[in-house]
Structure 1
């Protein structure tokens, strides 16, 4: 074992770890958090619309619009992320000016994640008791108030749990973006582990990705428990 740690391969990997990994970790967290934020910003309203807009919902919308939204979400969710990254190159270039780098990878990440977030939000909102909604309606609450005062607040613990799932999914996607020049730990793992066969560097990157996932998961679980009314008292 001591021979392994004193080997030239390990020393080289350790030097790469000290010089390049701090920035890579920051880029991975930055891309994951920003992409998840925008995915929630788009996906949560869509999830709400899918629930309240259906027939018999709080605020029904025309059926063809609902079918169109469902078809769009299903279509985007069915496209593999690597292919989606290439498909949105024109949009990424139009918005960012380039398709290579850390920030440009946010565009395909958001497009890949927001349909997933919409489905997770839809699932969380459907867990709210219909009796609670009917009670709010009988008291004369408007559709907007039912959404903001009943549906969303009642489903906060589930929304947080599903947001945690979304974060870890985006983190996995961000690692794949290294194939097209995206930054972060994925780029290091691919550049050194795949192209240069420096597997120790790749193992370092994988271990850090696992630790980041565990961190996000722990924070999300604690927040979900803290906001769950059933666990209080």
Structure 2
């Protein structure tokens, strides 16, 4: 296949569409996932404000959503996607299943990061009279920042993979290009190009967040 101006323009357009889907769904997923992850830690039986019933119910919901394969989730949430966006194809429509698939994963990543914090640090804050909110915003989140950034690299890369899969159902983006040209039209070179672009994007995400994590880690200064 000859990569003429039209083909290059299409690849650029679909790359931006992929970045849009990943960026918007990552933002919304983190707006849901961080508070949920914090709540799972705080309300745990060994947390600073135990609420066993909430913790168990939230944990079950998160685990259930994480257990559904993304390709099945895409089909399951189509009625919800249509109700929210008004259609089931396109980049905006893909954001709905991407968020539903990603925020439970992110909440568990956040939970794991917060649980890495030394219990002695939390106990010291409690002994000084710190409130629950003060412990969350001045101890838990700041102390876990390096781990949260590493988790973000993993989570956003996972969302990137989901976005490519969403191309199978009309979401557009690089996944759609790979399916339409690489699979249906047997254009292996187009498939290879889309894979290379996705790998480059994934590596850039990994590098940005890994560097940010190192800069924020007080232990290596």
TM over 0.5: yes
Query: In 2, distance between residues paired with 1:20 and 1:105?
Result: 19
Contact 1:171 1:213 in 2 (8 A): yes
Of 15, 33, 41, the match for 2:23: 33
Q: Distance in 2 between matches of 1:145 and 1:65?
A: 21
1:57, distance to aligned residue in structure 2 (A): 1.2
Q: How far did residue 198 of structure 1 move?
A: 1.1
**Structure 1 unpaired stretches of 5+:** 1-8
Partner of 1:55: 45
Shift of 1:17: 3.6
Deviations 1:132-184 (A, max 9, x none): 00000000000010001000000000001001100100000000001100111
Q: What root-mean-square deviation, in Å, do the aligned CA atoms of Structure 1 and Structure 2 show? A: 1.0
Equivalent position to 2:131, from 110, 129, 142: 142
TM-score, scaled to structure 1:
0.93
- 1:174 equivalent in alignment to 2:160: no
In the alignment, structure 2 segments of 5+ residues that lack a partner are none
On the 8 A contact 1:17/1:204 being kept in 2, the answer is no
By how many angstroms is 1:54 displaced?
1.1
Aligned to 2:117, which of 116, 122, 128? 128
Which of these residues, 151, 164, 171, is aligned with residue 140 of structure 2? 151
Q: Which has the larger radius of gyration?
A: 1
CA distance in 2, matches of 1:155, 1:79: 28
Residue pair 1:16, 1:201 contacting (<8 A) in 2 also: no
CA distance in 1, matches of 2:63, 2:48: 23
**1:196 CA drift (Å):** 1.1
Counterpart-to-counterpart distance in 2, 1:57 and 1:77 = 23
